[in-house]
Structure 1
Amino acid sequence: MELPEEIQNMIEKRKRAFSYYTEELVGEQGFIADDKTILLDAVIALSLGKNILLKGPTGSGKTRMAETLSNLFGQPMHSVNCSVDTDTEALLGFKTITQQEGASSIEFIPGPVIQAMEKGHLLYIDEINMAKPETLPILNSILDYRRMLTNPLTADVVRAKETFGVIAAINEGYIGTVPLNEALKNRFVVIEIPYVQGDKLREVITQESKLENESMIDRFVQLSSDLLVQVKSGIIPEEAASIRALIDTCDLAVYMDPIRAVRRGISDKLEEEREKAAVLNIASTLFN
């Protein structure tokens, strides 16, 4: 990946800042995409101190992208997995009573947001549009030029270190998600992560699954392509074409009939019988 010299220097500066960090980083440089500019643009944006919003269907590699960025920058990452139950404490931390030398005291345990800010690490907010809209505005001040917040649990002002960065991910249109507030979305650079296909998908399967039979891998690549056609036609839902589900199915196909593997890994996850039948019909044309 060719980078402008200035951006490369910024990355090296971050790596030097975290050279003391002895624990293993979250991920490896394993993100693969048909469009090489996806990773390149994410690296440039993060180097410039921009917040990144990864936007794409489930199983398209958004988390892998975040882990790859963590590895590229040599920078540890703290994660928040959002849900309808995500509240201020899940983001910022919580108070607890501790005992020291027989005396009780109240101690604040910092959450992922505070830890990432204070240490200058990366913060990954997964499925940010699953959180209740009233919870997220607390993040506004850390996502703009201020890079600080007043902790409502302690009244302390927390200022982020220079290397602090934010990566968020969303799956749009899924059950339980809500549209992001425009003020929040406007604080991000948006990068689309589509499903990988063709030779790049073959590379992903080879790298991440147990399946080694090249002929079988080719047929699973074709299965993915055919499923995407059905998704675009509205016949099956987007999650049926999930690359994550495809990798699971490839693993299963090492030890069982591939059509049975497709049933366990893909079709049985769907709700409608017609959707299940559509997936199995495609599989039967490829694996019989």
Structure 2
Amino acid sequence: GGGGGGGAGAALDEEWESFAAEAGRLRHQLRREAQGGVGGAAFAFVEGALVQAVREGHWLLLDEVNLAAPETLQRVAGLLEAGGSLALTEKGEADAVPRHPNFRLFAAMNPPTDFGKKELPAGIRSRLTELYVPRLSSPEDLSLIVIAYLGPLLPSPPVGPIVAFYQAALDAAATTLLDGADQRPEYSLRTLCRALSYVRAAVPLGYGLHRCLYDGFHITFVAQLQARFQPQVEALLLRHLMPPKPNKPPRPPPARAPARPSGDGWVEIGGFWLQTDPRHTASAEDPRFIVTPSIEARFRQLARMVAAGRYPVLLQGPTSAGKTSVIERLAAATGHVLLRINNHEHTDVQEYIGAFAPDEHGKLVFRDGALTTAVRHGHWVVLDELNLAQSEVLEALNRLLDDNRELHIPETGETLTPHAHFMLFATQNPPGAYGGRKVLSRAFRNRFLEMQTDEIPAGELTTILERRCAIPASFAAKMVSVMGELQRRRSSSRVFAGKAGFITPRDLFRWAERRPGTYQELAEAGYALLAERLRSTPEREVVAQVLCSLLPRVQLCAETL
């Protein structure tokens, strides 16, 4: 018994020695922190905007307040009472922060009928004085806005035609129009103001008033619509904003670039002068980027949106429609570094903003995320698969997507103003047609300039395959016809409803990269790529039937393959 007790005492002594060593290291750490040296305490309580406003008597706006969690809002409830205060339990202080007499709290939110928006808790809502802000719709109010934007620029701005077009577009949006997500387009005051901002910025550059009107209102009111609805709004645009000509219907102004702006750092793309990044070399040509008529139209439309200023741009369309590639090509042509963030269902704000991580000395330091890096250094950033991320994560970007453009880093309390060359893009597949894609709130989408990208036409896809992959034109045409037939059978019989059986243009490029030399090799390579990933024999037989029926003089035997 005595031996066992001695062993237990020795173990206890070791634990006390270990504890004493830990306490010594902590004392050393705290001493270094007090002296301002490296290696001090890793964490310290940093007061946020709310605490600072309460202490110092600032006014505070809680934007999109009905996106916050109820337990977060309950922390604010005590401030809304007479003589309210704020308890900082995280800091370990018993005394609450008293509310400064000049402190005022404001909140703004969209109605809970929008996607992702919640009802405000009754206990919070009852403590607030509510004001409903209706949409500005009267011609008098809208005229004042147009005059405010264009009055200092033009002696006689076209106030009446612009107001008439805006009201006609609102009526069409409420009754007939559909955007790329199969929803009614959200034409708001922000949409109108961004169109007017484009006109105000482009007219001094020599583009001409009517072309500026056409371009500015096209990127804001037309580009987001499905292709079949775009002519309807284009007709409204021409009728109201283009000058009438005797016995001739109004036509879009010519897309010729004006004289080169003064100074260095400009490149002409699609009839628009875009600023280049002088820190990097612009790439004028890319042999892998094959320009066809539809690709050229997208490239020109994206250049028009970039020329509009630093507004965020959202490209929406089916998979493998070239959304990201056209952004990459424009970034290379203007000499901008392009960073890419791939969203997924578990994306969190840290992937955008950054997080604390240990440095080489073991001290925790803040490491910028891709978005923060782009904002600081003036890079371009593309948020791929935007509608795969959670709405709460995306709504945290609202402050950066607004026209005042700021990025707040809660972990450090820093608020960044973006570099002059910073530009934000996003891409997404339409919700509903692709698994996991969510419908974004109308208020969030309205912060972007939207561009709808449809599937590449079969003839152009054949040309791209032939030139990019260096295969015979006859092979490329047959491959595109195989894709079309498989997609037709998928939509009619649903045999390919599973994700693994879906064929896209990306599959065609993988198929072509196998470099088949004969139609038999082409069929075998296509079967290996398209059929072997399918789960059931009937599905593989469908692929074999299509290949044998569309490719000449081929035979496929599933057993030997």
Coarse TM-score class (shorter-chain normalised) = 0.7 to 0.9
What pairs up with 1:39-50 in 2 under 5 angstroms? 39-48=299-308, 49-50=310-311
The letter of the residue matching 2:446 is N
- Aligned-pair distance for 1:95? 0.9
The letter of the residue matching 1:191 is M
CA deviation map 1:188-222 (0-9, x unaligned) = 2222222223332122112332x523322221132
* 2:397 equivalent among 128, 139, 146: 139
* 2:316 equivalent among 35, 50, 55: 55
Stretch moving more, 107-116 or 172-181: 172-181
CA distance in 1, matches of 2:346, 2:376: 25
The letter of the residue matching 2:344 is S
Query: Which residue number corresponds to residue 356 of structure 2?
Result: 95
Q: Is the 8 A contact 1:7 1:44 kept in 2?
A: no
CA deviation map 1:74-114 (0-9, x unaligned) = 211111000112111111111112245xxx53321111111
State the SS of the aligned residue for 1:166: strand
CA distance in 2, matches of 1:60, 1:33: 13
CA distance in 1, matches of 2:346, 2:260: 39
CA distance in 2, matches of 1:99, 1:21: 30
Question: Per the alignment, do residues 201 and 8 of structure 1 end up closer, same or farther by CA in structure 2, a change over 3 Å counting?
Answer: farther
Q: Is the 8 A contact 2:321 2:455 kept in 1?
A: yes
Corresponding position: 1:198 with 2:461: no
CA distance in 2, matches of 1:273, 1:199: 32
CA distance in 2, matches of 1:182, 1:272: 41
Corresponding position: 1:240 with 2:502: yes
**TM-score, normalization by structure 2:** 0.45
- Aligned-pair distance for 1:247? 0.8
CA distance in 2, matches of 1:240, 1:8: 47
Bigger relative CO (Cα 8 Å, ≥ 6 apart)? 1
Corresponding position: 1:5 with 2:257: yes
Q: Is the 8 A contact 2:462 2:473 kept in 1?
A: no
Q: Is the 8 A contact 1:14 1:163 kept in 2?
A: no
Question: Per the alignment, do residues 39 and 163 of structure 1 end up closer, same or farther by CA in structure 2, a change over 3 Å counting?
Answer: same
Q: Is the 8 A contact 2:471 2:512 kept in 1?
A: no
Corresponding position: 1:128 with 2:386: yes
What pairs up with 1:1-288 in 2 under 5 angstroms? 4-5=256-257, 12=267, 15-16=275-276, 18-21=277-280, 30=289, 32=291, 34-35=293-294, 36-48=296-308, 49-100=310-361, 104-172=362-430, 173-209=433-469, 211-230=470-489, 233=492, 235=494, 236-237=496-497, 240-252=502-514, 254=516, 257-269=521-533, 275-287=539-551, 288=554
The letter of the residue matching 1:5 is A
Question: Per the alignment, do residues 277 and 184 of structure 1 end up closer, same or farther by CA in structure 2, a change over 3 Å counting?
Answer: farther
- Aligned-pair distance for 1:183? 1.8
State the SS of the aligned residue for 1:265: helix
Q: Is the 8 A contact 2:466 2:472 kept in 1?
A: no
CA distance in 2, matches of 1:76, 1:7: 27
CA deviation map 1:54-90 (0-9, x unaligned) = 1122222222122112112221111100011211111
Question: Per the alignment, do residues 251 and 179 of structure 1 end up closer, same or farther by CA in structure 2, a change over 3 Å counting?
Answer: same
- Aligned-pair distance for 1:40? 1.0
Stretch moving more, 197-206 or 118-127: 197-206
- Aligned-pair distance for 1:41? 0.9
State the SS of the aligned residue for 2:363: strand
CA deviation map 1:125-160 (0-9, x unaligned) = 000111112111111111120211211121100111
State the SS of the aligned residue for 1:196: coil
Higher strand share: 1
Unpaired segments of 5 or more residues in structure 2?
1-253, 268-272, 555-561
Indicate the percent of aligned positions where both proteins have the same amino acid: 20
Q: Is the 8 A contact 1:50 1:188 kept in 2?
A: yes
Question: Per the alignment, do residues 147 and 225 of structure 1 end up closer, same or farther by CA in structure 2, a change over 3 Å counting?
Answer: same
Paired residues, number: 281
Q: Point out the structure with max Rg over C-alpha.
A: 2
Question: Per the alignment, do residues 31 and 206 of structure 1 end up closer, same or farther by CA in structure 2, a change over 3 Å counting?
Answer: closer
Q: Is the 8 A contact 1:129 1:179 kept in 2?
A: yes
Q: Is the 8 A contact 1:129 1:177 kept in 2?
A: yes
- Aligned-pair distance for 1:51? 1.8
State the SS of the aligned residue for 1:252: coil
Q: Is the 8 A contact 1:31 1:64 kept in 2?
A: no
CA distance in 2, matches of 1:87, 1:272: 37
- Aligned-pair distance for 1:228? 4.3
Q: Is the 8 A contact 1:81 1:127 kept in 2?
A: yes
Aligned residues: CA RMSD: 3.1
State the SS of the aligned residue for 2:461: helix
CA distance in 2, matches of 1:7, 1:177: 44
CA distance in 2, matches of 1:260, 1:7: 55
Question: Per the alignment, do residues 94 and 66 of structure 1 end up closer, same or farther by CA in structure 2, a change over 3 Å counting?
Answer: same
Question: Per the alignment, do residues 231 and 69 of structure 1 end up closer, same or farther by CA in structure 2, a change over 3 Å counting?
Answer: farther
Unpaired segments of 5 or more residues in structure 1?
none
CA distance in 2, matches of 1:273, 1:55: 35
